[in-house]
Amino acid sequence: MTQRLMGSSLPRTEGHSKVTGQARYVDDISFPEMLYGVTVRSPIARGRISKIEFDPAIPWNEFTIVNASDIPGRNRIVLIADDQPCLAQGLVNHAEEPVLLLAHRDKQLVEEARRAVTLDIAPLPAVFDIDDAIAEKQIIWGTDNIFKTFLVEKGDVDSAWAGAYAIVEGEYHTGAQEQLYIEPQGMIAQYDPETGITVLGSMQCPYYVHKALMPLLNLPPEKVRVIQTETGGAFGGKEEYPSVIACHAALLAKKACKPVKIIYDRGEDMAATTKRHPSRTRHRTAVDRDGKLLAMDIEFTVDGGAYTTLSTVVLSRGTIHAGGPYACPNVRIRSKAVATNHPPHGAFRGFGAPQSIFALECHMDRVARQINMPPDEFRRRNFVHEGETLAVSQVVREPVNLEQLMNRALELSEYRLKRERFARENETSIIKRGIGFASFMHGAGFTGSGERSMGSIVAVEGTKEGMVRVLASSTEMGQGTNTIFPQIAAEALGIGVDAVEIVTPDTSVVPNSGPTVASRTCMIVGKLVESACLQLREALIQSGLLQPDYSPEDFKRACSEYVERRGMLKCQSQYSTPPGIYWDDDKYQGDAYATYAWAVYVAEVSIDSRTWETRVEDFVAVQEVGRVINPILAMGQIEGGVAQGIGFALYEDVAWREGRMVNNQMTNYIMPTSADLPPIRVYFEEIPYEYGPGGAKGIGELPIDGPAPAIVNAIENAIGVPVGRIPATPEVLMQAMEGARV
Amino acid sequence: MSDRASATVLFTVNGRPQSMTSHPLRRLLDVLREDLRLTGTKEGCGEGECGACAVLFDGEVVNSCLVPILQAQDVTIITIEGLVQNEKAKLLQEAFVQCGGAQCGICTPGMVVASWNLLERNPLPTDDDLRSALSGNLCRCTGYTRIFEAIKIASGKLEQAAAK
């Protein structure tokens, strides 16, 4: 029929508009009479609002001013729990919490006005630390400061200690991390009493925003319309927070009866929006004389911030990944998401897994050291194989060969040679070199029964011009949706990609294919695109307008004729669980994910023992992600994820003071520049996955899981003392060295 | 800036002379985006750190968020929209698409401007040249590898074109 589309590096669909500056992001869009909106936020972490003062120097009568009493419906940002106000009323529970909204046609003046509002807030004692939250120093949320706990049990951990050859304990910490998409968050809202509210902006999940706007404004679904604009990076940071900005813009637009645009500046975006959950993990591990794991007892705790947002599901993914790709007979994982008075932490690529995998993979090296076994040999003896079970008692039913991934990664990085050479050279060198690795997996799609209850829908439609339109709420945010969906559709239909058009996500036009999160767009939604296309093809063949051995031209003619004669050619496909998948939500056991991507990453570092600055010198990423649909886009995902992981491991340090981020600038919150990164060498092993489109699995989050533990293992290899904490800044390494000297 | 100080500034943008009466401290970035509707130049940080707002200012790469409009008097400015008119720069833009040098695209206009300027000054950049020339342009999506590849491919094509 046509050329093979799957597996070829078709250029990005919207690439031309991006490289020429024509792509329209939310801040590039204006409407006549549009006002600019700003948010007045709490300067302190917890307290009671007693008074709001307006400086008389500002002409307030020209402004639209919105507070909680202007909300027509419920003052909540609806997501999972129902605890986050849209605008604080009475109490504030975190710094930067929105209290008041202002809008004016003059962008400069509205900024001055924001500074001319003084919130008088009587402080209440606040909690900023996981231990203080658990100790209930202050009750700041619910009855016990706990958003959620999970217990995973496999075998009998407590009976395993007695027969152990060695028992190794460790504690590991990860810090908050800012997503730092280069396009700050923003929304434009327009209100019309007849048609309702229309919101457009930068987002991952149009239907989350839709769901939040309805109860806030007391509007039925058909009177709420959400449209995604070109989105300049997201990484999870535009999963839940856009609902907040959309709700704010909508309230201002409704009151002003004019379009209102809210664009955050960088400082506001960094301080106020969600970040990766800080975490603490404790491991206690028993091994036998042969280096086989006997028991893993894991305690995983994340700081959720002041409101629930997505903490319960972040905790879930982190919990399930905490046991890693190992077959250990006895596992117990106890996990908690606790409330503090930090701004709510939220979705960030990896979603809890990078935290628990960091701890586990550092700990695996530590156990290996304790029993005097090379880290690769220790892992080889414990890797999970087909037919064996993971921590959540999930039987691995796919061919997984972690040993092969590891061998390849270690060879490509010259791991063994370098380990020997560095050990020799480090004795006399000021620059200490090290090499380390991590082996890990990442589950694609929603956890547990999530995909089944979501029931995502994709529609495809033939046009009278003979084109095929794909309708889904899955967004393009740089990762490649708009390029791989046409590849999948065109391949299924036997036509060219040019004959496929992706419809802009607009809730008044596209069905709900679920949020663009959880490495699910390619594997889950892409599969729906494929199956809807196969139905459409079948419908054309059944109609007699298309013969089974058709050419793309025949398809075009048949499609066109079908639409001319019958008015419409539309098929839709809804998610159904692959056979044999079962998850028990009460016991937290079973098929947590339909499949996993598997990987081994190796990092080589150099550390200047005078400044304790670390540089990553080389990076090898070997992974099995099913069939690769578009190699250039896939490599771009891995390279970008590794770069973010290097930032997470070494540089990106959120400085908190009384619950406020104080380094909320690109000048002092350091993400990797082109001068900071090593060559990132990416390799794929391809084992087709039966239930993914053309055999593909999810890929987007996997690459953020491995770099941090690989780097810290390399650092520990170089300096010979335990670190166990990221970001591993010079200060952290210095303290680790001093701790070792005592 | 609610005081009404104003200045008239004459400058050239993408080959067209412009006369702007504006507050003298107004950012060049805002004049380009709001008054001239040249929205290809992006704002990422507003403090000269990310390079999304990079434009050519008499042939030098500057962050337009740090330039008060008064400083643009008699200056020749080229934005991403101006590079689109340049046949040679188009090769670079095409290479970005081909190599996967653009993902979310928000840093791309600034990245293209900075790399075009590098190629004009240094037609055959080494990896080290690339690393240092682009270290003022932050990209959160790519890890920079594919951007470097795009520039190297464009460099090769430009050399070929020059040899003909």
Q: Are residues A253 and A288 in the same domain?
A: no
* A732 lies in the same domain as A629: yes
Mean confidence (pLDDT) of chain A:
97
Beta-carbon contacts of A504 under 8 Å, excluding residues fewer than 6 positions away, are A227, A228
* Whether pLDDT at B143 is above 80: yes
| B92, B75: one domain | no
Do residues A428 and A300 both lie within one domain? Answer: yes
Residue B5 pLDDT: 86
Question: What's the distance, CA A294 to chain centroid?
Answer: 32
Q: Is residue B27 within 8 angstroms of chain A, CB to CB? A: no
Are residues B73 and B107 located together in one domain of the fold? no
pLDDT at A520: 97
Based on the fold, state whether residues A407 and A352 are members of the same structural domain: yes
Q: Which of A546, A574, A602 is the last residue of a domain?
A: A574
Number of structural domains in chain B: 2
Same domain? For A552 and A648 the reply is: no
| Same domain, residue pair B11 and B70 | yes
Task: Find the CATH number of the domain harbouring B131.
Answer: 1.10.150.120
Looking at every residue in chain B, the average pLDDT score rounds to 96
Contact A232 B106 (CB under 8 A): yes
Q: B96–A25: do the CB atoms touch at under 8 Å?
A: no
Q: Does the structure show a pLDDT above 70 at A2? A: no
Q: Which residue of A has its CA nearest to B92?
A: A19
Q: Mean pLDDT, to the nearest integer, of A569-581?
A: 95
Instruction: Give the mean model confidence (pLDDT) for residues A80-86.
Output: 95
Instruction: Tell me the chain B residues in contact with residue A184 when contact means C-beta distances shorter than 8 Å.
Output: 43-44
Residue A146 resides in a domain? no
Question: Residue A670 falls within a domain, yes or no?
Answer: yes
Q: What would the two tokens of residue A139 be?
A: 């009750």
A477 and B104 in contact by Cβ < 8 A? yes
Given A520, A545, A574, the domain boundary residue is A574
Confidence of residue B1 (pLDDT cuts 50, 70, 90): very low
Name the residue of chain B whose CA is nearest to A229's CA: B104
The answer to whether residue A184 neighbours chain B at the CB level (below 8 Å) is yes
Task: Provide the CATH number for the domain around residue A47.
Answer: 3.90.1170.50
Name the pTM for this structure.
Answer: 0.98
How many independent structural domains does chain A possess? 3
**Tokens standing for residue A90:** 């009475």
The per-residue pLDDT for range A520-563, each reduced to its tens digit, is: 999 999 999 999 999 999 999 999 999 999 999 999 999 999 99
The stretch A364-369 carries a mean pLDDT of: 98
Tokens of A559: 């499609």
pLDDT digits (tens, 9 = 90+) for A699-710: 999 999 999 999
Give residues with Cβ within 8 angstroms of A414, minimum separation 6: none
pLDDT band at A739 (very low <50, low <70, confident <90, very high): confident
> B41 and B19 in one domain?
yes
The whole-angstrom separation of Cα A210 and Cα A247 is 10
Tokens found for residue A624: 């099995």
CB contact under 8 A, A21 and B84: yes
A671–B138 CB contact, under 8 Å? yes
Element (H, E) at A460: strand A457-462
For residue A155, is it within any domain? no
Give yes or no for B66 touching A (CB within 8 A).
Answer: no
Share of chain A above pLDDT 90, in %: 99
Q: What element of type H or E holds A111? A: helix A107-115
Residues A342, A213: one domain?
no
User: Given B79, B107, B137, which residue is the final one in a domain?
Assistant: B79
Assign A4 a pLDDT band (cuts: 50, 70, 90).
Answer: confident
Both A232 and A318 in a single domain?
Answer: no
List A residues 150-179 in contact with B (Cβ-Cβ < 8 A): 179
Residue that is last in its domain, among A574, A606, A626? A574
| Residue B1 belongs to some domain of the structure | no
* CATH number of residue B22's parent domain: 3.10.20.30
Residue A291: which of A393, A390, A362, A370 has the closest Cα?
A: A370
Do B92 and B153 belong together in one domain? yes
SS3 sequence, chain B? CCCCCCEEEEEEECCEEEEEEECCCCEHHHHHHHHCCCCCCCCCCCCCCCCCCEEEECCEEEEHHHCEHHHHCCCEEECHHHHCCCHHHHHHHHHHHHHCCCCCCCCHHHHHHHHHHHHHHCCCCCHHHHHHHCCCCCCCCCCCHHHHHHHHHHHHHHHHHHHC
**Nearest CB neighbour to A642, from listed B50, B104, B143:** B143
Instruction: Assess contact for A106 and A331: CB atoms under 8 A.
Output: no
CB pair distance less than 8 Å for B140 and A235:
yes
pLDDT digit string, tens, across residues B32-88:
999 999 999 999 999 999 999 999 999 999 999 999 999 999 999 999 999 998 999
Same domain, A569 and A595: no
**Residue A340 domain flag:** yes
In a domain, residue A272? The reply is no
A434 with A548, same domain: the answer is no
Interchain contact, B40 vs A22, CB within 8 Å:
yes
- To the nearest whole percent, how much of chain B has pLDDT over 70? 98
CB-CB under 8 Å, A23 with B135: no
The verdict on A642 and A672 lying in the same domain is yes
Same domain, B97 and B134: yes
A636/B84 touch (CB, cutoff 8 Å), yes or no: no
* Planar angle of CA B123, B129, B131, nearest 5 degrees: 130
CA distance A474 to chain B (A): 15
Same domain, B159 and B117: yes
Considering only CA atoms, which of A537, A547, A541 is closest in space to residue A495?
A537
B96 in the same domain as B29: no
Q: Pick the residue from chain B with its C-alpha nearest to A231.
A: B104
Q: How sure is the predictor about A737, in pLDDT bands with cuts at 50, 70 and 90?
A: very high
Nearest Cα to Cα of residue A596 among A480, A451, A405, A440: A440
Each residue of A617-640: b (16+ CB within 10 Å) or e?
bbbbbbbbbbbbbbebbbbbbbbb
A720/A601 same-domain check: yes
Last residue of a domain, one of B31, B59, B79: B79
Distance, in Å, from the CA atom of A7 to the CA atom of B146, rounded to the nearest integer, reads 18
In a domain, B152, yes or no: yes
Same domain for B148 and B115, yes or no, is: yes
> Is B147 in Cβ contact with A674 (below 8 Å)?
yes
Predicted pLDDT of residue B129: 96
Structure tokens at A162: 């007695």
Same domain flag for B37 and B100:
no
Are B102 and A12 in contact (CB < 8 Å)?
yes
For residue A323, give the CATH number of its domain: 3.30.365.10
Q: Same domain for B103 and B146?
A: yes
Range of the domain at B140: 86-163
Q: Say if B2 falls within a structural domain.
A: no
Distant-in-sequence, close-in-space partners of A104: CB < 8 Å, separation ≥ 6: A35, A36, A62, A63, A64, A110, A113
Q: pLDDT tens, A242-271?
A: 999 999 999 999 999 999 999 999 999 999
Sign of CA dihedral A669, A674, A676, A679: positive
C-alpha distance from B112 to closest chain A C-alpha (Å): 7
Query: Closest partner residue to B100 among A23, A633, A679, by Cβ?
Result: A633
Closest residue in B to A11 (Cα) is B98
- List A residues 318-337 in contact with B (Cβ-Cβ < 8 A): none
Give the separation between CA B104 and CA A514, rounded to whole angstroms.
20
Q: Where do we find the tokens 């009998």?
A: A156
- The residues in B 107-126 lying below 8 A from A, measured between CB atoms, are 107-109, 112
Segment holding A251, helix H or strand E: helix A241-256
pLDDT tens digits, residue range B117-134?
999 999 999 999 999 999
Q: Does residue A229 sit within a domain?
A: yes
Quote the pLDDT of residue B127: 94
State the pLDDT at residue B3: 58
Classify residue B141: in a domain, yes or no.
Answer: yes
Count CB atoms within 10 A of the CB of residue A125: 12
Confidence of residue A742 (pLDDT cuts 50, 70, 90): low
Residue A157 domain-assigned (yes or no): no
Q: Does residue A148 lie within any of the structural domains? A: no
- The parent domain of residue A555 ranges over 15-22+456-574
- Say how many CB pairs under 8 Å bridge A and B: 169
Do B147 and B111 fall into the same domain? yes
- When pLDDT is cut at 50, 70 and 90, the band that residue A1 belongs to is very low
Domain final position from B39, B56, B79: B79
Q: Tell me which chain B residues have a C-beta less than 8 angstroms from the C-beta of A666.
A: 44-45, 47, 49-50, 138
Specify whether the CB–CB gap between A572 and A532 falls below 8 A. yes
**DSSP type of residue A32:** T
Q: State the smallest CA–CA distance between residue B163 and chain A in angstroms.
A: 26
Q: Is the CB of B104 less than 8 angstroms away from the CB of A643?
A: no
Residues A342 and A486 both lie in one domain: no
* Beta strands per DSSP E along A229-348: 260-263, 279-287, 293-305, 330-339
Min Cα distance A188 → chain B (Å) is: 16
Interface membership of A109 toward B (CB under 8 Å): yes
Cα-flanking dihedrals φ and ψ of residue A102, to 5°?
-125, 145
Q: Taking the CB of residue A668, how many other CB atoms lie within 10 A of it?
A: 11
pLDDT reading at A3 higher than 70: no
Cβ–Cβ gap A27/B43 under 8 Å: yes
Query: Does residue B84 belong to the interface with chain A, where contact is any CB pair within 8 Å?
Result: yes
